Amino acid sequence: MAERYEVRFSGSGGQGIILAGIILAEAVSIIEGRNAVHTQSYGPESRGGASKSEVVISDEEIDYPKVVKADALLCFTQEAARKYIKDVKEGGIVIVDEDLVPEVPEGNYRLYKFPFLRIARNELGRDIFLNIIALSTFVGLTNIVKRESIEKAIMNRIPKGTEDMNKKAMEIGFRLAQGALNKK
């Protein structure tokens, strides 16, 4: 991969969007030894305000740390979809939570819809696992990093005592990705 690959996670504070970006960047740079830069932006509210987390990946030097045209956009609020969908490259991928983003604007991209929040609540009992499920689904769909790399990065960043639940969240995400790929 010589060209830039740009990823944007978007939604609201408290959904683990910033952490998802950090984990992806660490999987790429620290574990796989490629170049990655992570930037983040969120409103004045730590929970509930608009939030985005961006990761730029390249095997070459990265001269600009922000997403210009996203290769991948993950949206967890309707507002985020409306705001950022225009920044997706032609042929890029858009991944949304189908319950939180019921209306996805038309575009020339591959669209994937998953019930991340519903699964986090029903199968893991906590909303916060939405980010790990979605991140693992993204990695499973794109192979942007090796599965082992993202698993290691997740385990390095999560709070102690949550390892088993996060492993389950990862497994769910990879299973969702495989199901979607099998349908194509």
Alpha-helical (H) ranges within the chain are 17-26, 78-84, 116-119, 130-142, 147-157, 163-183
**Residue 47 pLDDT > 90:** no
Contact 130, 168 (CB under 8 A): no
Of 50, 5, 57, whose CA–CA distance to 31 is shortest?
A: 57
What's the DSSP call for residue 127? G
pLDDT score of 48: 60
> pLDDT digit string (tens) for 136-162?
999 999 999 999 999 999 999 999 999
Question: Higher-confidence residue: 49 or 41?
Answer: 41
Q: Is 180 helix (H, G, I), strand (E, B) or coil?
A: helix
> pLDDT digit string (tens) for 81-128?
999 999 999 999 999 999 999 999 889 999 999 999 999 999 999 999
**Residue 165 pLDDT > 80:** yes
Of 40, 53, 13, 14, whose CA–CA distance to 135 is shortest?
A: 53
Domains detected in the chain: 5-183 (3.40.920.10)
